[in-house]
Amino acid sequence: MIGTMAQAAPYVGYVYPNETDIPWSVLIVIYPYITGLVAGAFIVSSLFHVFGMAQYKPVARFALLTAVSFMFFVPMPLLLHLGNPQRAFNAVLTPHWTSAMAAFSYVAGFYISLLLLEIWFAFRADIVALSKTTQGPLGTVYRLMTLGSDDVSPRALALDHKFATVLAMIGIPAAGGLHGYVGFLFGSVKAREWWSSDLMPIIFLLSAIVSGIGLLIVLYVVYSRIRKVPVDQACMKGLARTMWAFLLVVLVIEGLELLEMFYKRLEGIDMVQRLIEGPIRYGMMIQWGGSLIVLALLTVLIVFRVEGKALVRGLVISGVGMMIAVLAMRWNVVIGGQELSKTMKGLLVYYPEILSHEGLVAVAIVFTCPFVVLWLITRFLSPWEPEPS
């Protein structure tokens, strides 16, 4: 076994010796989770750049930088999981279009290229200004980043905005494809009753958007505290309504998926029920309990038009709660599906390791890296509007 350990649960049937391996570890749990944060942050940015919702302007450019910072590390869990990560290039050099996994490199490559292009157009005026005021090696970097274009006339800036808008429009379905693809991977596995669902791509995508919005709320408040500037109330209210809407839809769809699964009573459904009542019961409690609490809290904030510090505190709690609930959902899907034996006669119990290359420490390091990169990028390119003097 590679960095994992499982054992048969005596109260839920039996498993064969060749079924005791759980190959997709906690690293594969964090992989779709990070991917989802990218999609959620990008959607918030697009609400301003594409749909012109002015309340999202304070976080629009920050959302772009957040998305690209996390996108850099989307492949990392997969590379750490591989015994020979250099072989990942084989999927690029020798494409196999009937494999959804092999197509990932092209999907991810296209999306990160699109993100970098949109960031360049959105920040070009800042890059030009910095290239003229910054000296030394960093000034050289800024000058190279202008790509020889230092025109910041109103006409040129309007053209930049148009290109950024077009790229954002392309990015919306690309973001949907990026994370819907992850749900497609699991939903297309017919041998696993817990995974085999046509709704899986939709659930993964919608829950990703909710977790990404939650992340953006927390980061925006933290950065505002560090910069010692007030949080934009209109922006926070808009984020609250958006997260509430997506959360309500995803809860309805997840509920319908479970209802359909048990209503059809397909073969193996009894073991699925035992899975929910057994190995992943705490994960299901965190997923559903956390989501319902966040939904209730957001409803109170919206209905009673809460403002000021109470609004900020409530949204930070909602953001953190939503991130935890979606992480639990990823665990329940990835690990839960593997805890069902292939014969559907018994269940396994997964115990994540701590110090192995697929252990909890490795996951913590991978998840910390995007935050470090985001901090560095915001020092290099400030996403904030200058404060009035």
Whole-prediction pTM: 0.91
Pairwise CA distance, residues 220 & 236, whole Å: 9
Pairwise CA distance, residues 26 & 189, whole Å: 19
Helix axes 26-49, 360-380, angle to 10 degrees: 30
- How does pLDDT run across 302-351, given as a tens digit for each residue? 999 999 999 999 999 999 999 999 999 999 999 998 888 877 778 888 88
Q: DSSP E strands: which ranges in the chain?
A: 6-8, 348-350
Task: List 340's β-bridge partners, or say none.
Answer: 347
- Quote the pLDDT of residue 339: 87
280 contact partners, CB below 8 Å, separation of at least 6: 331, 332, 335, 336, 339
Q: Quick one: average pLDDT of 249-268?
A: 85
Q: Quick one: average pLDDT of 359-372?
A: 94
Q: Are 201 and 79 in contact (CB under 8 A)?
A: no
Q: Which two tokens stand for residue 123?
A: 């920040």
- Quote the pLDDT of residue 118: 94
24 contact partners, CB below 8 Å, separation of at least 6: 81, 334, 335, 338
Please report, rounded to a whole number, the percentage of residues in the chain having pLDDT higher than 90: 59
Q: Which two tokens stand for residue 388?
A: 């009035």
Q: Model confidence at 140, in pLDDT bands (50, 70, 90)?
A: very high
Q: Model confidence at 9, in pLDDT bands (50, 70, 90)?
A: very low
Q: How does DSSP assign 40-94, residue by residue?
A: HHHHHHHHHHTT--GGGHHHHHHHHHHHHHHHTTSSHHHHHHSSSGGGHHHHHHS
- Quote the pLDDT of residue 191: 66
Other CB atoms within a 10 A radius of the CB of residue 134 amount to 14
Look over the chain and give the mean of its residue pLDDT values, rounded to a whole number. 88
* Nearest alpha carbon to residue 42 among 201, 169, 161: 169
Mean pLDDT comparison of 87-91, 175-179, 290-294, highest-scoring range:
290-294
> Residue 261 above 90 pLDDT?
no
> Residue 100 above 60 pLDDT?
yes
More reliable by pLDDT, 204 or 196:
204
Q: Model confidence at 13, in pLDDT bands (50, 70, 90)?
A: low
Helix or strand (DSSP H, E) at 310: helix 308-339
Q: φ, ψ for residue 279 (rounded to 5)?
A: -55, -35
> Residue 3 above 80 pLDDT?
no
CATH number of 21-380: 1.20.1630.10
- Quote the pLDDT of residue 167: 93
340 three-class SS? strand
Q: Quick one: average pLDDT of 170-175?
A: 88
Q: Model confidence at 198, in pLDDT bands (50, 70, 90)?
A: confident
Task: List 56's β-bridge partners, or say none.
Answer: none
Pairwise CA distance, residues 364 & 272, whole Å: 30
Domain residue ranges of the chain, discontinuous segments joined by +? 21-380
CA angle 241, 114, 203 (to 5 degrees): 45
> Residue 377 above 60 pLDDT?
yes
- How does pLDDT run across 263-295, given as a tens digit for each residue? 877 767 888 888 898 889 999 999 999 999 999
Alpha helices in 228-279 (DSSP H): 233-264, 269-277
* Nearest alpha carbon to residue 61 among 389, 318, 377, 387: 377
> Residue 96 above 90 pLDDT?
no
Q: Model confidence at 8, in pLDDT bands (50, 70, 90)?
A: very low
- Quote the pLDDT of residue 10: 41
More reliable by pLDDT, 154 or 108:
154
- How does pLDDT run across 143-158, given as a tens digit for each residue? 999 988 888 999 999 9
Pairwise CA distance, residues 271 & 197, whole Å: 16
